Structure 1
Amino acid sequence: MPLTFVRDPQLTPGLREEFFRLWYDVSQAGGAVGFMAPVTAEQIRPYAEAHTAKVAAGRVRMLAGFEDGRLAATAFLQPNDDYKTAHWATVVLVMVDPALQGGGRGRQLVEEAVAMARDAGLEALRLEVRGGTGTERFYEGSGFKEVGRLPAALRFGDDYRDDIVMWLPLA
């Protein structure tokens, strides 16, 4: 079933809670979205609240994907404050409900995030992925290219991972 997308949805208390729950579920399922499983709700909640505060303040744009009336996927465009880099944004927190993965929803989500960026007049997108997960192959399928790698830049306890920087020109 295709997702129904809403760009910059109204951040109601219910949507904030759905976002938190999605982030928790994706993290628990091993998704590379800032945490390493196992993770507790108490670890994620302050980050979810801080992130939605940035959205509410207009500092980050939200793309919400809904299925059967509930939040099933997200991606965010984080613009740059510096005038020299204002022509591109960073894509963060690309997530699809683990129960819905494998049906093309992730590809739909990335395509819609790219369309949102183009409609905003952006010329390129940057994103970072955690090494050791194979996630970069998924994004390469949408045209992103690896442009840099910071060895062991991400630390999760005793586990170090590369931070892979990817780039997609939109011209």
Structure 2
Amino acid sequence: MDSEPLGLRQITSPDDVSPELRQELVDCWIEVTNAGGAAGFPFPPIDASTAAPAVDTLVEGLAPETSRLVIASLDGELAGWLNVRRESFPLVAHWGTLHHVQTRTGLRGRGIGAALMRHVREIARDGMGLEQLRLAARGGVGLETFYGRLGWQEVGRWPGALRLAPGDDRDEVLMVLTPL
């Protein structure tokens, strides 16, 4: 039996996150972090006591104008997700920032991350009226190459900004996608 096509959708309200989806988000975040993913928790291993409050905070902040969750589903299961946010301060309200870009580890290499990134570009431009997107990525794990293939440009680095362990300092890579 063939797999269903990848489903992409956005969530703009806390009321639209079911308990089942919340649990899938928590499970995904734990899986990605514990596999060494740079998705917001620097010191694995983590468990639900760490991930669940972070998911709850993210979900509570969802609002159409300022914060949206973009999810990818495959065969009815969460395959990956990210969060796009805009600041309300007028000086920077024309751009958004991506957070927590992640895909289930067993599904990597199937284009899910790229599909999420293309879809969020449309959402940011057409749904949120944004003109550019920004993100910060952990250096040393190939993320610059992944994002670069999708049109993102590196605009700066903070050398050694991230200390994962003694002697394991990584650059924080600043990237931008403009125009949308």
User: With structure 1 as the length reference, what TM-score do the two structures score?
Assistant: 0.91
Q: 1:15–1:116: structure 2 CA closer, same or farther, 3 Å change rule?
A: same
Partner of 1:115: 122
| Residues 1:14 and 2:23 are matched in the alignment | no
| Residues 1:145 and 2:153 are matched in the alignment | yes
What is the root-mean-square deviation of aligned Cα atoms in Å?
Answer: 1.9
Supply the distance in 1 between the matched residues of 2:63 and 2:87 (Cα, whole angstroms).
17
After alignment, is 59-68 or 149-158 more displaced? 149-158
Matches within 5 A, 1:36-47: 36=42, 38-41=44-47, 42-47=49-54
Supply the distance in 2 between the matched residues of 1:63 and 1:79 (Cα, whole angstroms).
14
Matches within 5 A, 1:127-166: 127-158=135-166, 159-166=168-175
Q: CA deviation at 1:43?
A: 2.9
Matches within 5 A, 1:92-111: 92-111=99-118
Q: CA deviation at 1:27?
A: 0.9
SS at match of 1:55: coil
User: How many aligned positions are there?
Assistant: 171
User: With structure 2 as the length reference, what TM-score do the two structures score?
Assistant: 0.87
Give CA deviations for 1:139-169 in whole Å, capped at 9, x if unaligned: 0001100101111222234232211110011
Q: CA deviation at 1:8?
A: 1.2
Q: CA deviation at 1:129?
A: 0.2
Letter in structure 2 aligned against 1:19? L
Letter in structure 1 aligned against 2:117? V
Identity of aligned residues (%): 36
Give CA deviations for 1:39-84 in whole Å, capped at 9, x if unaligned: 1203333222222222269742111111111111111111112101
